[in-house]
Amino acid sequence: MSLNPPSSATESPIDAASVDTAITSRMSVRAFLPQPVPRETIEHLLQLASRAPSGTNTQPWKVYVLQGASRDTLVEKCCAAHDALRADPSLASEYREEYDYYPEKWVSPYIDRRRENGWGLYGLLGITKGDKDKMHAQHQRNFRFFDAPVGFMFTIDRVMGRGSLMDYGMFMQNLMVAARGHGLHTCPQAAWNGFAKIILPHIGAGDNEMLVCGMSLGYADPADKVNTFITPREPVESFTHWLT
């Protein structure tokens, strides 16, 4: 299905309520149904996502779609590495992220929000502090794409600057919001980044490519209680400064 670009800057918004709903209903789903997603649908979502803005229209995104055997084999490789890392923490030096997603030093209010997120999720799942087995198993759900039938790996050319990562975020947000319009859900995942040395050769990425993150795509499992976990958002007045 082809899409027509905007005809002009004066084109009127269409069905604002549906756009609002697509944005507000987006969440990080952590349990998916095995129901397959047609290739045509995935292609359509990616074409929609490609309308994201980027500095001087550089369009720095490169997407790898994993389904079937390619998906399952990557899951096996990364789950095995995750288990090995737990058994031998000294292997951590082999599995490092290529860029810092999180800060080296956490400060308030960010550490407070992070803790609230962790306590909320693990509390819902009945995972108590110190229960390392359950924590490991839940973390490994990332490397199973939360059972989603479709996995994405996003890469970027290493020559690009920091601004291109901002462009990439807008591309991914377009993809996630577009997915909601088609009854699908997603989960963007930086958890994969530490296993780039496994992922990049698996997907056939070039030496010039850096892993940005992964993402799960599929139909949410409405029966799994993990999907009742909704993260809060700060009110507008807490992060907005009006200058007149």
- In the structure, what pLDDT confidence band is assigned to residue 58 with cuts at 50, 70 and 90? very high
Q: Among 94-98, 148-152, 165-169, which is the least confidently predicted range?
A: 94-98
pTM here is: 0.94
Q: Among 89-93, 183-187, 211-215, which is the least confidently predicted range?
A: 89-93
Tell me if 123 sits within 8 A of 225, measured CB to CB: no
Checking if the pLDDT of 4 tops 90, the result is no
From the options 3.30.230.80, 3.40.50.450, 3.30.70.260, 3.40.109.10, give the CATH code of 26-102+143-231. 3.40.109.10
Q: Indicate the burial class of 150 (C-beta count within 10 angstroms; 0-12, 13-18, 19 or more).
A: buried
pLDDT at 5: 73
Domain locations along the chain: 26-102+143-231
Checking if the pLDDT of 63 tops 80, the result is yes
State the sign of the Cα–Cα–Cα–Cα dihedral 47, 52, 56, 62: negative
pLDDT at 2: 63
Which pairs count as long-range contacts for 171-174, CB under 8 Å and 24+ apart, including other chains? Answer: 171/49, 171/50, 171/52, 171/54, 171/61, 172/49, 172/213, 172/215, 173/52, 174/48, 174/49, 174/50, 174/51, 174/52
Across the chain, what does the average pLDDT equal? Answer: 95
- In the structure, what pLDDT confidence band is assigned to residue 14 with cuts at 50, 70 and 90? confident
Cis preceding-peptide flag for 109 (omega within 30 of 0): yes
The 10s digit of each residue's pLDDT in 195-207 is 999 999 999 999 9
- Positions of E strands within the chain: 62-66, 150-157, 185-189, 209-218
Rounded CA separation 174/152 (Å): 14
